[in-house]
Amino acid sequence: MTSPMQQRDDLSALLDGELENAELAAIEQELESDSDLRVELEELRGISDGLRSLPDATAPDGFLAAVMGRIEAGDGIEEMDTDVGRLASPVERVVEPQPDNVVRLSSWWIKGPALSAVAASVIVGIGLGIWDKGPLAPPNASELVMRAPGSSAPPSPTGLISPPTAEGDAIADVASDDEEARSGRTAERIRMTPGETDRVAVGGAGSSPAVLSAPRRSGIREASSSSPPPGIVAVAEAEYAPEPSAEREALETESARPLETAEKGLLPESDASKALGRSDGVSPPPPATRQAMTAVASLRTADSDVVVSLRDTAMSRGWELTFVSPGDAAVVLSDLLPEQVVELLLPPGDELAAQAILDGLGSFRFASSPERAEGEHSRLRVTVIYVPE
Amino acid sequence: MTREELQDASDSELVQAHLAGDRRAFETLVLRHQDRVYRLCLRTVYDPTRAEEAAQEVFVKVYRHLAKFRGESKFTTWLYRVALNHCRNVQAYRARRHERRHDSLDAEVETEDGSFKRQLPDDRPDAEATLLLNERLTILKEELARLDPIWKEILVLRDVEGLSYEEIGQTLELAPGTVKSRIHRARGELKVRLGRRLKGDQRIK
If you count residue pairs, one on A and one on B, with CB atoms under 8 Å apart, how many are there? 210
Distance CA B205, CA B69 (A): 53
pLDDT at B95: 59
* b/e code B98-111 from CB counts within 10 Å (16+ = b): bbbbebeeeeeeee
Residue of B nearest to A86 (CA): B81
Cβ of residue B192 closer than 8 Å to a chain A Cβ? no
Cβ of residue A371 closer than 8 Å to a chain B Cβ? no
Residue of B nearest to A55 (CA): B137
C-beta atoms of A339 and B184 within 8 A = no
Distance CA A153, CA A322 (A): 12
C-beta atoms of A71 and B93 within 8 A = no
Cβ of residue B34 closer than 8 Å to a chain A Cβ? yes
| pLDDT greater than 60 at residue A305 | no
Max Cα separation, chain A?
85
Which residues in B lie closer than 8 A to residue A36 (C-beta atoms)?
A: 123-125
Enter the CATH code of domain B108-204. 1.10.10.10
Most confident of A161-170, A195-204, A361-370, B195-204: B195-204
Cβ of residue B111 closer than 8 Å to a chain A Cβ? no
Residue A84 has φ and ψ, to the nearest 5°, of: -65, 135
Listed by start position, the domains of chain A span 4-51, 99-386
Cβ of residue A240 closer than 8 Å to a chain B Cβ? yes
* A106: region left, alpha or beta (phi > 0 left; psi from -120 to 50 alpha): alpha
Q: Choose, out of A67, A216, A336, A384, the residue to mutate when testing the contact with B (most B CBs < 10 Å).
A: A67
Q: Choose, out of B100, B184, B190, B196, the residue to mutate when testing the contact with A (most A CBs < 10 Å).
A: B184
CA gyration radius, chain A: 26
The partner residue sitting opposite B56, judged by closest CB among A10, A54, A66, is: A66
Strand A329-334 to A122-125 pairing = parallel
By C-alpha distance, which of A327, A301, A298 is closest to A236? A298
C-beta atoms of A63 and B159 within 8 A = no
Q: Are A302 and A123 in contact (CB under 8 A)?
A: no
Distance CA A46, CA B120 (A): 19
Task: Give span(s): CATH 1.10.1740.10, chain B.
Answer: 3-98
Q: Distance of CA A61 to CAs A32, A65, A118, A247, B94, Å?
A: 50, 9, 59, 24, 26
Cα B151 from chain centroid (whole Å) = 9
On whether ipTM exceeds 0.85, the answer is no
The partner residue sitting opposite B180, judged by closest CB among A13, A79, A314, is: A13
pLDDT at B59: 92
| Residue A308, min C-alpha distance to chain B (Å) | 19
C-beta atoms of A46 and B134 within 8 A = yes
Q: Which H or E run includes A13?
A: helix A4-15
pTM (2 d.p.)? 0.45
| Residue B127, min C-alpha distance to chain A (Å) | 8
Residues 125-154 of B with CB under 8 A from A: 125-127, 129-130, 133-134, 137, 140-141, 144, 148-150
Residue of B nearest to A82 (CA): B85
By C-alpha distance, which of B161, B198, B163, B80 is closest to A46? B198
Q: Choose, out of B30, B97, B135, B147, the residue to mutate when testing the contact with A (most A CBs < 10 Å).
A: B97
Task: Give span(s): CATH 1.10.10.10, chain B.
Answer: 108-204
Dihedral, CA atoms, A197, A201, A203, A209, nearest 10 degrees? -100
Q: Choose, out of A3, A36, A38, A47, the residue to mutate when testing the contact with B (most B CBs < 10 Å).
A: A47
Residue of A nearest to B161 (CA): A52
Most confident of A39-48, A134-143, A205-214, B124-133: A39-48
Most confident of A87-96, B20-29, B136-145: B20-29
| Residue A212, min C-alpha distance to chain B (Å) | 17
Most confident of A214-228, A246-260, A375-389: A375-389
**Tens-digit pLDDT profile for residues B147-188:** 888 889 999 999 988 899 999 998 888 888 888 888 998 998
Lowest mean pLDDT among A77-86, A119-128, A224-233, A313-322: A119-128
Residue A257 has φ and ψ, to the nearest 5°, of: -125, 150
Where is pLDDT greater, at A10 or A147? Answer: A10
Which residues in A lie closer than 8 A to residue B96 (C-beta atoms)?
A: 92, 178, 294, 313
Strand A130-131 to A200-201 pairing = antiparallel
Strand order from edge to edge, sheet including A188-192: A188-192, A170-175, A296-300, A307-311
Strand A185-186 to A188-192 pairing = unpaired
| pLDDT grade for A329, boundaries at 50, 70 and 90 | very low
**Tens-digit pLDDT profile for residues B18-65:** 888 888 899 999 999 999 999 999 888 877 888 898 999 999 989 888
Q: Choose, out of A87, A217, A220, the residue to mutate when testing the contact with B (most B CBs < 10 Å).
A: A87
Distance CA A340, CA A294 (A): 10
| pLDDT greater than 80 at residue A13 | yes
DSSP state of B51: H
Q: Distance of CA A333 to CAs A145, A361, A385, Å?
A: 10, 12, 12
C-beta atoms of A13 and B184 within 8 A = yes
Which is it for the CA torsion A140, A146, A149, A152, positive or negative?
negative
pLDDT at B128: 53
C-beta atoms of A12 and B184 within 8 A = yes
CATH number for B3-98: choose from 3.40.630.10, 3.20.20.330, 1.10.1740.10, 1.10.40.30: 1.10.1740.10
| Per-chain mean pLDDT for chain B | 76
pLDDT at B150: 83
| Per-chain mean pLDDT for chain A | 40
